[in-house]
Structure formats: C-alpha cells, structure tokens
Structure 1
Amino acid sequence: MNETLVVMVRGIIGFFTLLLLTRILGKQQISQLTFFDYILGITIGSIAASLTTDLTTRAFPHWIGLIVWVILGLLLQGITLKWRRGSKFLDGEPTIVIMNGRIMDKALKKMRYRVADLLEELREKGIFDLNEVEYAVLETNGKLSVLKKAANQPITPKDLNLSVPYKGISTELIYDGVVIDENIKAVNRDRAWLEAELKKRYINHPSQVFLALLDPNGQLFIDKYSDNQKNIIDIGDYPGPN
C-alpha cells in the first residue's frame, strides 16, 4: 500500500513536471522534429517514467536529471536560433535528392538513404512517375519536399485569370450545444439572427446543435446531434465479434 501511494505521488509530480517542461520547450518539438529532437523527447519521457516507478532510488536525482535535459534542450534551441553555423551542425541541412529530374545518387549514398525510401516518399505524395518530378529536397526532419515539373502541376484559378471568393477561417457560434456570444458579436450578429437561422432549419433550441460555424462569406454550417443517417458507411474491415 505504501509503495502504491509513493508511485501515485511520484507519478503526479512527474506528470506535471513533464507537462510544465514540455510547455517551456515549446512547439518546436512537434512542428520541427529533427532526429535529435526525437531522441531528446524519448529521453525526457524515459527519465519521467523512471521518476515515477523506480522506487530503488530517491525521486530527487531523477527530477534534477529531467530539468538538466530540458535546460540543455533549451540551450540547443537558443544556439540554433542565434547561430547559423551551430544550427547547421546540430540540425543538418536540407539535401537535394532529385535535381532537374535526375536522382542525385551520390547524395543518397552520403546520407545512407535508399532509392526505395525515396520512391516510397514520392508515392505517399501521390507521385508514381519520376518523370513528373523536377526537384525533391530531403528536409532536416526527414520529410521530402517535392516540386513537380511545370507541365505536371495542377492548374490554379490564377493561371486561368479567374477570381475566386475569399476563403478565411470560420467562426464557431455554437459548440457542443452552447452558444458563444462573444463570437456572435465578433461577426456583427446577434442572438435573434442565430435563432432565426436555426428555425429555418427546423431547430428549436441551440442545445440541439453540436456545432455551428459561420464562414467569412456568411455561409452558416450547422451539424445537429441527431444526424438521422439511415445507411451509415463503415470503412473498417473488422466485422466485430459474432
């Protein structure tokens, strides 16, 4: 019973410590995850797990180790932000693996990157023909950026000199049955307008609405709790237990 209590207390301490420290590290751990960032995240998580379950040692050394790793991570982030050469050394540089439609085999060998891996990355981007590719760059986080040849790029309204309506971010007016009055005011509407729009769709009360969004063009999207879908499509292939 005492061990269970100790694990619970140390788990709570480790959880909130890890939450605080990851917030301090910032979103770079997710949005710009390099290989070293990946290893750093695993190590920090491992130390937090040891802090919780390793009852053979005191919690304090684990907690100090956790803080030290986070401080070093912050230090490296500062170096990569302020010092260009340091950034190149720590994070590496993007590498061109296809140039002018030609595979740079020497660059692939230098990075120990297989052609099979390159083809797989291209297929994941919907490219099955290498003749479509003008440039391909392997980024420092391992992702592949591709520039198709001009003849294979999709035609945009700009290419056809067509004007298209502005597409912005929709505003939430109702979320989980609750009306967000601040957002209604922000889009220069009021409750009376919203209730009138709901009645047009035979909705008597906002509590019947799961989500309501208003886009910049004034189009209202409403999703009710009761979808009344008769033939629900299941894309899974597991029929479930008999």
Structure 2
Amino acid sequence: MNWLDIFFYDTTGAFLAEIAVRVVIMFTMIILFLRFTGKRGVRQLSIFELTIILSLGSIAGDPMFTKELPLIQAVWIMSLIISLYRLCTWLMMKCQVFEDFLEGKPLYIVEDGVLVLDKIKKGGMSQDEFFAEMRYQGIEHLGQVRVGLLETDGNFSVLLFEKNKVRYGLPIFPRYYQSVSQIETGRAYACMYCGQVATISSSKETCSRCNNNDMGWAQAINSTVIR
C-alpha cells in the first residue's frame, strides 16, 4: 500500500489548476446568487430560504472537483434556481396563501402575560427554548410581556407592558421557576404550565385555565423591566 495514494492518488498538477478555476467560478456564482436574493439571504433563514441555500450548496459543491461534470451544467441549474426563487418571491407578493405556504405564519406564543399553549405546540419549540429567547431580551417573568411572537425566521419578538401596567407573572429564570410546596395566604402564584396567575389554597390545586396540576405552581413576581 502506497500511503501517498491517500493524499494524491492520480491527481495531477493540471487537475489541481482545473479545480482552482472551478472553485473560483462556482464561488463567484454563489456570491452572485446571494446578491440576487437580497439581504434576506444572510439573516436567519425561513424554510423556503433554507431550501434554496441547501440546493445552492449541492449544485456548487460537486462541480468544483468532479472532472466529469462540466461547469455549464452547474451554471444552468443555478440560473434555474435563481429564476424559481424570483418567481416564488413574486408569487408571494401577489398571493397571501402562497406566502403562508412557503414562509409559514408568525405564532403568538405569549398574550397578556400567559402562554398560548396550542400555538406553542405548532411552533415546535419547547417551553425552555421560549423562556431562553425571552431571557436574552432581559425579560424576568411573563407578567412583563404583552405579546410574544415567534417569527417565521425563528426570531422571537416581544411587546412589553408599560411599567405601570406590569402584572404578576410566571418567573422564567431557573432559580425562581420552581414549584412551591407551602402556600402563603395572600400571595400570587403562577401555573408552571401555562402561566396563569391565581391565589390558591394548595400547591396541588388544578389550574383553572389549563386544567394541569402536574407541574405545580411557582411564586409569581411583578418586577418591571430594567433596560
């Protein structure tokens, strides 16, 4: 066994030069393609944009080093992909149903300080992931959030209550997001499943909003956002 074959095999200097030319051409085509798609192509990607990028990578990769694949085929396929992208973009501007099919719809995850459970399931993210997104934005509890929206590109947008309208809410930092065993009279507690705030008499009490008593209750807080 010749160990040099692992690195070189039948590679010649001429083929290495050919690869350099192929890489430069395909790299240029990728740059041009991303310029055609506009700034959306360099942000977080929607499902539609991710499909385009994955197709682009597959088209550009093989012709860079495969001698049997002429570059004209890759250029032609990439041109078709650009045309399809432009066509889909035009159709999305003309037809809301088509846009919703390709891009999806934003989902309201938090409304008036409580979780919208049916939308969370559609979003395909866990409760911990939503809480992490809110913590990144300096949110301490759900009572600070008027609206929490999961965008089609995966970003999480929030609208906050005014400081004088912040209510008691479910804490989302791990230290405070813990079920209590002893209930203090007059204190507000939040359902750890849906965020509903109530005064309860027992830590085993069933939430009137989600009918859940498995996750328990956490002590609600009403601190304002500090920014």
Picking from 93, 96, 103, the partner of 2:115 is: 103
Distance 1:38 1:124 in 2: 25
Secondary structure at 1:106's aligned position in 2?
A: helix
Moved more, 136-145 or 42-51: 42-51
- Equivalent in the alignment of 1:79: 91
Give the 5 Å matches for 1:84-163: 84-151=96-163
Please say if 1:29 is aligned against 2:20: no
After TM superposition, give the deviation of residue 12 of structure 1 in Å: 1.6
Percent of aligned positions with the same letter in both sequences?
Answer: 25
- TM-score scaled by length of structure 2: 0.62
Task: Look up the equivalent residue of 2:128 and give its one-letter code.
Answer: A
After TM superposition, give the deviation of residue 73 of structure 1 in Å: 1.4
After TM superposition, give the deviation of residue 145 of structure 1 in Å: 0.6
Secondary structure at 1:147's aligned position in 2?
A: strand
Distance 2:51 2:136 in 1: 25
After TM superposition, give the deviation of residue 116 of structure 1 in Å: 0.9
Change in 2 beyond 3 A, CA 1:152/1:15:
farther
Cα root mean square deviation, aligned: 2.1
Task: Look up the equivalent residue of 1:60 and give its one-letter code.
Answer: I
Q: Which runs of 5+ in 2 are unaligned?
A: 1-12, 166-227
Distance 1:61 1:152 in 2: 63
Distance 1:32 1:81 in 2: 20
- For the Cα contact (< 8 Å) 2:44–2:154, is it kept in 1? no
- For the Cα contact (< 8 Å) 1:44–1:70, is it kept in 2? no
Distance 1:39 1:90 in 2: 10
Distance 1:120 1:143 in 2: 12
After TM superposition, give the deviation of residue 32 of structure 1 in Å: 6.9
- Equivalent in the alignment of 1:48: 60
- For the Cα contact (< 8 Å) 1:21–1:70, is it kept in 2? yes
Q: Which runs of 5+ in 1 are unaligned?
A: 154-242
Moved more, 126-135 or 137-146: 126-135
Change in 2 beyond 3 A, CA 1:45/1:152:
farther
Deviation by residue 1:139-163 (Cα, 9 ceiling, x = unmatched): 111111111111279xxxxxxxxxx
- Equivalent in the alignment of 1:15: 27
Distance 2:135 2:98 in 1: 34
How many aligned positions are there? 154
Distance 1:52 1:5 in 2: 11
- TM-score scaled by length of structure 1: 0.58
